[in-house]
């Protein structure tokens, strides 16, 4: 009976192999589409590994560089089209562009992003022919493909302002292997995902030794990640409250609802309490220009007890003088997407300005060309946002027994850029990530949180997220979600601020850690054919 079942399985495997060999492009496209199910909210990471194993097999069998590039590109096209489907939802909140264009925008963006896995496939195929004395389906080819994947994901994160959303390594968060990000970063974690898929491919080919050579360290990493504890929260840690008002994007900019929105934020922030608290509101939580409107600062200060501090998103605006009909008037020149710290004395203690802005969201590239043909940015407004100086650590002063601590800030989209979120020379105690995910559908917010968790693991610091409609969360320094408010719920999270870990290897080296790991993989790929492995 066992022989019969084994024969049936072998027959099915050969049939599938013949089918993919006959239609490699269709196989690559389908594999890419299914591989995206490993991301939130589906988390089908075994499917991702199986699809990557198929991709490795298809690239190894490519007869020419063009075929390798095309198969990698089709994989990327399917992968990004499903994984980024939430972008279409954002267009339903902007009447300056047709809502149906959102679906086209997802495909158009995917057509571009697919170039990066295609480059990884082409690079591995070409380099393996130049450097390796082994068949492309073996361990050296897999190592080289993993190295090329690091290069392609890093390039995707920096080219043309970068779009680092959904790096492959985020699919490993449920496995515990993600703890390797403390050593080799997110892009190195993507290479481990390729290696895991390679182990599956080698196992299917009954190459047990090289498959075990990959699987054994991955299992050790998984065990480490699942068992490594986060540091305990000490007694007397600062008290925090994270507010989620459940204000949808369709209501956010309504002048008629402005007062109701403020009452919701005020109610969820709670009454004044003796113990000093750090209170966190979402990105662009209030419509005021706080540095210009003392009455608004007074309203916020009235919500605070002695020793409380309020961290809230708002806009900093800049004006320029223009002359109309011989009369000089002030016109809006630009703005910063900012985070303000407000004290009980109605003072603005400091401000952080978002540095990594969203193209077409917070500014319109090539405005002189695109605006005349009717295109607009997705966030309402006549002027573009301007970038701030980059990562900073803002001091939160000592008060009522709470020591001074430093807070890093990354507003919304900024949190997805590995190695670019911390001022390493002035390391903060935690990172605050105010965000507005209300226009990202149901897939975008949970994917955003997963990427924030990777930043916590990489840097070894806790992260606090406050969003209008979810997912707001408190994440410890190991990337565990301690408390969270799900989508479309109003509420708050109370607790103590989790402690940071000592700086990780990645925190010290930044993305050089990923680059060094890439060089190690390439070196191993070259060295292995010279042995009996």
Q: How many CB atoms lie within 10 A of CB 25?
A: 14
User: CA-CA distance, 490 to 482, in Å (whole number)?
Assistant: 18
User: Of the residues 153, 252, 316, 354, which is catalytic?
Assistant: 354
Cβ(432)–Cβ(409) below 8 Å = yes
For the question of residue 316 being annotated catalytic, the response is no
Judged on CB neighbours under 10 Å (0-12, 13-18, 19+), 153 is: buried
User: CA-CA distance, 428 to 350, in Å (whole number)?
Assistant: 15
Taking phi over 0 as left and psi of -120 to 50 as alpha, with beta for the rest, 160 belongs to left
Max CA distance (Å), the chain: 95
User: Of the residues 40, 316, 412, 459, which is catalytic?
Assistant: 412
User: Cβ contacts of residue 317 below 8 Å, gap of 6+?
Assistant: 289, 292, 332, 334, 335
User: CA-CA distance, 360 to 378, in Å (whole number)?
Assistant: 6
DSSP helix/strand/coil, 397: coil
For the question of residue 259 being annotated catalytic, the response is no
Instruction: Tell me the pairing of strands 463-466 and 430-434.
Output: parallel
User: CA-CA distance, 434 to 353, in Å (whole number)?
Assistant: 12
Peptide bond into 195 cis (omega under 30): no
User: CA-CA distance, 319 to 335, in Å (whole number)?
Assistant: 9
Q: How many CB atoms lie within 10 A of CB 92?
A: 14
User: Of the residues 40, 283, 362, 414, which is catalytic?
Assistant: 283
Judged on CB neighbours under 10 Å (0-12, 13-18, 19+), 213 is: middle
DSSP helix/strand/coil, 515: helix
For the question of residue 51 being annotated catalytic, the response is no
DSSP helix/strand/coil, 395: strand
Token readout for 309 is 């501090």
Q: If you search the block for the tokens 């060295």, which residue do you land on?
A: 527
3-state per-residue secondary structure call for 268-316: HHCCCCCCCEEEECCCCCCCCCCCCCHHHHHHHHCCCCCCCEEEEEEEE
Q: How many CB atoms lie within 10 A of CB 22?
A: 9
Q: How many CB atoms lie within 10 A of CB 73?
A: 23
User: CA-CA distance, 410 to 344, in Å (whole number)?
Assistant: 24
User: CA-CA distance, 448 to 490, in Å (whole number)?
Assistant: 19
Q: Which residues have a catalytic role annotated?
A: 283, 354, 412
């Amino acid at each position: 009976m066992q022989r019969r079942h084994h024969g049936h399985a072998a027959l099915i495997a050969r049939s599938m192999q013949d089918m993919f060999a006959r239609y490699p492009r269709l196989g690559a496209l389908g594999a890419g589409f299914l591989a995206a199910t490993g991301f939130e909210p589906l988390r089908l990471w075994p499917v991702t590994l199986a699809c990557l194993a198929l991709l490795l097999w298809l690239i190894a069998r490519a007869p020419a560089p063009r075929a390798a590039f095309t198969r990698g590109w089709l994989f990327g096209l399917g992968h990004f089209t499903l994984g980024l489907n939430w972008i279409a939802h954002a267009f339903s909140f902007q009447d300056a562009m047709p809502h149906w264009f959102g679906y086209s925008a997802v495909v158009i963006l995917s057509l571009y992003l697919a170039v990066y896995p295609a480059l990884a496939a082409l690079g591995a195929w070409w380099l393996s022919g130049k450097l390796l004395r082994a068949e492309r389906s073996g361990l050296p080819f897999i190592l080289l493909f993993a190295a090329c994947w690091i290069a392609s994901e890093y390039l995707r994160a920096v080219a043309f302002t970068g779009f680092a959303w959904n790096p492959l390594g985020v699919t490993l968060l449920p496995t515990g292997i993600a703890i390797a990000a403390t050593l080799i970063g997110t892009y190195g974690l993507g290479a481990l995902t390729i290696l895991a898929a390679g182990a599956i491919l080698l196992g299917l080919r009954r190459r047990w030794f090289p498959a075990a050579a990959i699987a054994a360290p991955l299992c050790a990493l998984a065990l480490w990640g699942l068992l490594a504890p986060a540091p305990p929260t000490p007694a007397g840690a600062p008290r925090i409250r994270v507010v989620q008002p459940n204000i949808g994007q369709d209501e956010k900019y309504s002048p008629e609802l402005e007062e109701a929105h403020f009452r919701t934020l005020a109610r969820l922030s709670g009454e004044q309490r003796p113990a000093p608290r750090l209170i966190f509101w979402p990105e662009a939580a209030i419509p005021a220009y706080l540095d210009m409107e003392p009455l608004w600062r007074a309203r916020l200060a009235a919500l605070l007890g002695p020793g409380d501090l309020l961290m809230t998103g708002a806009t900093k605006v800049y004006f320029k003088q223009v002359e109309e009909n011989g009369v000089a008037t002030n016109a809006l020149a630009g703005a910063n997407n900012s985070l303000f710290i407000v004290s009980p004395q109605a003072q603005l203690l400091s401000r952080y300005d978002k540095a990594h802005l969203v193209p077409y969201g917070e500014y319109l590239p090539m405005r002189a060309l695109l605006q005349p043909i009717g295109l607009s940015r997705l966030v309402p407004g006549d002027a573009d946002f301007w970038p701030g100086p980059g990562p900073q650590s803002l001091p939160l002063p000592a008060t009522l027994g709470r020591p001074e601590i430093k807070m890093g800030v990354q507003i919304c989209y900024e949190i997805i850029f590995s190695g670019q979120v911390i001022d390493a020379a002035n390391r903060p105690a935690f990172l605050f990530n105010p965000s507005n995910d209300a226009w990202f559908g149901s897939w975008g917010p949970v994917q955003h949180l997963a990427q924030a968790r990777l930043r916590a693991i990489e840097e070894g610091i806790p992260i606090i997220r406050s969003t209008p409609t979810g997912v707001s969360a408190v994440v410890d320094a190991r990337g565990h979600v301690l408390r969270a408010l799900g989508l479309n719920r109003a509420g708050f999270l109370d607790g103590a601020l989790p402690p940071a870990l000592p700086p990780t290897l990645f925190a010290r080296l930044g993305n050089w850690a990923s680059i060094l790991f890439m060089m190690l993989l390439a070196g191993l790929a070259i060295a292995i054919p010279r042995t009996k492995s």
